[in-house]
Amino acid sequence: MSMSKLRKISEATLKSVKTGHSGLFTTNDLALLIDIEVDLNFAKYLHKAVKVGVLEKVCTNVFINPMVPPEGKGILVKIANIIHWDKLVYISLESQLSYLGVISQVMMDRLTVMTTGRSGVIKTKYGIIEFTHTSRKIESIKDNLYFDPDIGAFRATKEKAVKDLKRVGRNISMIETIDE
C-alpha cells in the first residue's frame, strides 16, 4: 500500500467536501472517487486507510475524512438515508415526538425512524439509529409526512408519529397530550 494511494483518497475526499459533498462517503463513493473497483483488495485498502487515520469508519460501509468531518444538523438522519438509500425513511416515534415537544424526553445521540426497509439498530460514531419497518405503502403515508429542509429529511406529523408509536407497540405513557 503506497502512501500515494492513501494521499489520493485523502485529497479526493477533501476536494469533494469543499465542493459540497456531505462528508459521509459510502464504500462505492470512495471507489468512484479514486476510480477503483470495489473488491477484496479495495476492502483491504479501506481498512488500511482507517488504520492510519486517513479515513474514519462511521458504521458499516460509511466513512468520513477526519480532517473534514460532516457538520450541521441531521447527521444521523443523513446516515440513515445513506444506509437505506433505496427506501423511504422518515423521522417518527420518540425522535419526532421529542422534536415536536409532545414528550419531554430529549432524544440525544439516538434517532428513531420508520422505513420501508429492514428494521434494525445501527451504532455509528455519532449515535444510534433505530430503524423500524413499516409495510405501509408510500401512497398511504405521504400526506402525513413533511419535508424538513433544515436537515434534508422527511418527518412524520404529530398524529402520524403517535400512530406509529402505538402501531409498533411502544410505550405511549410518555406522551403528555394526545389530541385525538
Q: Are 9 and 30 in contact (CB under 8 A)?
A: yes
| Any domain includes 83 | yes
> Does residue 51 carry a pLDDT above 60?
yes
Are 161 and 84 part of one and the same domain?
Answer: yes
Provide the domain limits for residue 96. 75-167
Q: Would you state the cell numbers that stand for residue 146, as one nine-digit string?
A: 413533511
| Any domain includes 177 | no
> Does residue 35 carry a pLDDT above 70?
yes
Q: Would you state the cell numbers that stand for residue 34, as one nine-digit string?
A: 479514486
Residue that finishes a domain, picked among 11, 31, 64: 64
| Any domain includes 49 | yes
| Any domain includes 10 | yes
> Quick one: what percent of the chain has pLDDT higher than 90?
80
What local confidence, expressed as pLDDT, does residue 60 receive? 92
Are 97 and 54 part of one and the same domain?
Answer: no
Q: How many domains does the chain have?
A: 2
Contacts (Cβ under 8 Å, ≥6 apart) of 41: none
| Any domain includes 173 | no
Mean of per-residue pLDDT scores for the chain: 91
Cα of 60 vs its chain's centroid, Å = 12
CATH number of the domain at 33, please: 1.10.10
| Any domain includes 178 | no
Are 155 and 85 part of one and the same domain?
Answer: yes
Work out whether the CA dihedral 178, 175, 115, 136 comes out positive or negative: negative
| Any domain includes 179 | no
Taking only the tens place, the pLDDT of each residue in 149-160 is: 999 999 999 999
Mean predicted confidence (pLDDT) in 36-40: 92
Question: Measured at the alpha carbon of residue 93, what is the angle toward residues 143 and 163, in degrees to the nearest 5?
Answer: 55
